[in-house]
């Protein structure tokens, strides 16, 4: 019972510390994205604080079950520990994440986005051309900005253009997800197809939550798979190996649920899998039936591993 209480305390400690630390780093990241050369950043931006809160909480909820499994690896648990793990996992995926998505839809998307603007007096290079605004661009939606445009090619010329304000201006498009191309060049390009994308996973959670309850159950296959790692908590005799297996399995699960949407995999699915009659039928009730099936199959594998290991321990203790 004491170990079960310890697990509950660790759950809320990880939730609080993970959210607080994650918010600090992600808020700095958001402020870096929103930064424009020559403009002082606002210390506490309400919109970015809300975005950081919802995003980091979503990430913490994805990681909290593996964290509890690690606590189980470090401290051998009994029936009470196992029951507490099931209840906390159910609380996370059946209550906390849906509540998070509900409030995010009500709060975060009602906040207004800041106006895009580029300051004058800076040289901004993009695709072989350098732009120099004589005054702030897009600050006044009705005023054209005198701009010096330098073509850096061998036969390039220097032109003075009157550029009309537009939120779809090339410097805005190519700076994404940053606000200023200068900031993007300072910090470098972001990977377009990362191995793990929490934003992508959370986006599909939002899509599933916005549809019928069967679609949400389909997304919960990811939660079942992550929680089923508890069955492999003592797969090996050494705790270090069990910890390594937990980290590797968590990484592979999240990577698989990200790479499933990679353009190459998507093209393969559309050509060879999605037109299967079985998956066409399932697609009426869940998103991404092949991914859901794979998640459920490996969930069953980890549950069987846990049952076999439990039966083996019982037999040895007789």
Q: pLDDT digit string (tens) for 228-246?
A: 999 999 888 899 999 999 9
Question: Is residue 289 over pLDDT 60?
Answer: yes
Query: What tokens appear for 203 in the block?
Result: 């986006």
Question: Do residues 3 and 107 share a domain?
Answer: yes
Rounded Cα gap, residues 63 and 93, in angstroms = 11
Mean local confidence (pLDDT), 9-19: 95
- Residue 115's pLDDT is 58
Mean local confidence (pLDDT), 67-83: 86
Question: Do residues 245 and 277 share a domain?
Answer: yes
Taking alpha carbons only, the member of 218, 201, 224, 220 closest to residue 279 is 218
Question: Do residues 77 and 179 share a domain?
Answer: no
How many residues can be counted in the chain?
A: 318
Question: Do residues 73 and 142 share a domain?
Answer: no
Mean local confidence (pLDDT), 200-219: 94
Ranking 107-111, 190-194, 210-214, 265-269 by mean pLDDT, the lowest is 107-111
Final residue of a domain: which of 89, 114, 139? 114
Final residue of a domain: which of 114, 138, 153? 114
Question: Do residues 164 and 219 share a domain?
Answer: no
- Residue 292's pLDDT is 95
- Residue 108's pLDDT is 54
Phi, psi of 167 (to 5 degrees): -75, -10
Query: What tokens appear for 116 in the block?
Result: 């895009």
Question: Is residue 293 over pLDDT 60?
Answer: yes
Taking alpha carbons only, the member of 30, 77, 74 closest to residue 54 is 30
Rounded Cα gap, residues 145 and 164, in angstroms = 6
Query: If you write DSSP's letter for every residue of 255-271 in order, what string do you get?
Result: HHHHHTTSHHHHHHHHH
Name the average pLDDT for the chain: 88
Question: Do residues 164 and 57 share a domain?
Answer: no
Q: Quick one: CA torsion of 188, 193, 199, 302, rounded to 10 degrees?
A: -130
Mean local confidence (pLDDT), 288-299: 95
User: Per-residue confidence at 112, pLDDT binned at 50, 70, 90?
Assistant: very low
Chain segment 164-189, per-residue pLDDT in tens: 888 788 888 888 888 889 888 888 77
User: Per-residue confidence at 79, pLDDT binned at 50, 70, 90?
Assistant: confident
Decide if 54 contacts 198 (C-beta within 8 A).
no
Query: What tokens appear for 245 in the block?
Result: 């297996």
Long-range contact pairs involving 268-271 (C-beta distance under 8 Å, separation at least 24)? none
Taking alpha carbons only, the member of 287, 302, 113 closest to residue 210 is 287
- Residue 291's pLDDT is 95
- Where helices occur in the chain by DSSP H, the ranges are 2-34, 46-74, 79-90, 97-107, 170-175, 181-187, 198-210, 213-227, 239-259, 263-272, 277-282, 289-317
Q: Which residues contact 108 (CB under 8 A, 6 or more apart)?
A: 50, 51, 54
Rounded Cα gap, residues 22 and 44, in angstroms = 16
- Residue 219's pLDDT is 95
Question: Do residues 297 and 245 share a domain?
Answer: yes
Decide if 235 contacts 245 (C-beta within 8 A).
yes
Question: Do residues 317 and 202 share a domain?
Answer: yes
Chain segment 18-46, per-residue pLDDT in tens: 999 999 999 999 888 888 888 877 777 78
Question: Is residue 136 over pLDDT 90?
Answer: no
Cis before 9 (ω within 30):
no
Question: Do residues 216 and 183 share a domain?
Answer: no
User: Per-residue confidence at 194, pLDDT binned at 50, 70, 90?
Assistant: confident
Question: Do residues 150 and 209 share a domain?
Answer: no
Question: Is residue 113 over pLDDT 70?
Answer: no
Final residue of a domain: which of 187, 208, 227? 187
Mean local confidence (pLDDT), 54-71: 95
Chain segment 210-226, per-residue pLDDT in tens: 998 999 999 999 999 99
Instruction: Note down the domain range covering 63.
Output: 1-114
Question: Do residues 196 and 304 share a domain?
Answer: yes
Question: Do residues 183 and 61 share a domain?
Answer: no
Q: Which residues contact 72 (CB under 8 A, 6 or more apart)?
A: 7, 81, 85, 230, 233
Angle, CA of 154, 155 and 159, to the nearest 5°? 115
Question: Is residue 311 over pLDDT 90?
Answer: no
What 3-state class would DSSP assign to 35? coil
Rounded Cα gap, residues 9 and 11, in angstroms = 5
How many structural domains compose the chain? 3
Mean local confidence (pLDDT), 181-202: 85
Rounded Cα gap, residues 84 and 8, in angstroms = 7
């Amino acid at each position: 019972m004491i170990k079960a209480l310890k697990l509950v305390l660790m759950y809320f400690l990880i939730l609080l510390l993970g959210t607080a630390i994650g918010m600090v780093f992600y808020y700095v990241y958001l402020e870096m994205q929103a930064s424009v050369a020559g403009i002082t950043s606002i210390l506490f931006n309400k919109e970015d604080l809300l975005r950081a809160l919802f995003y980091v909480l979503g990430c913490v909820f994805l990681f909290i079950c593996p964290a509890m499994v690690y606590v189980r690896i470090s401290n051998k648990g009994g029936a009470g520990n196992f029951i507490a793990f099931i209840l906390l996992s159910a609380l996370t995926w059946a209550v906390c994440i849906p509540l998070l998505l509900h409030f995010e839809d009500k709060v975060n998307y009602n906040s207004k986005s800041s106006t895009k603007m580029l300051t004058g007096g800076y040289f901004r290079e993009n695709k072989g051309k350098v732009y120099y605004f004589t005054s702030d661009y897009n600050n006044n939606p009705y005023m054209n900005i005198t701009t010096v445009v330098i073509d850096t090619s061998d036969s390039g010329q220097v032109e003075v253009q009157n550029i009309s304000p537009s939120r779809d201006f090339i410097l805005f498009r190519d700076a994404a997800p940053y606000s200023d191309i200068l900031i993007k060049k300072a910090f470098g390009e972001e990977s377009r197809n990362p191995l793990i994308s929490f934003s992508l996973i959370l986006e599909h959670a939002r899509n599933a939550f916005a549809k019928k309850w069967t679609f949400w159950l389909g997304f919960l296959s990811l939660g079942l798979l992550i929680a089923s790692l508890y069955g492999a908590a003592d797969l090996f005799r050494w705790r270090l190996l069990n910890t390594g297996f937990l980290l590797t399995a968590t990484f592979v699960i999240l990577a698989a649920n990200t790479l499933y949407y990679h353009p190459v995999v998507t093209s393969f699915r559309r050509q060879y899998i999605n037109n299967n009659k079985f998956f066409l039928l399932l697609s009426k009730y869940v998103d991404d039936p092949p991914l859901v099936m794979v998640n459920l199959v490996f969930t069953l594998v980890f549950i069987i591993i846990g049952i076999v290991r439990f039966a083996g321990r019982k037999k040895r203790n007789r």
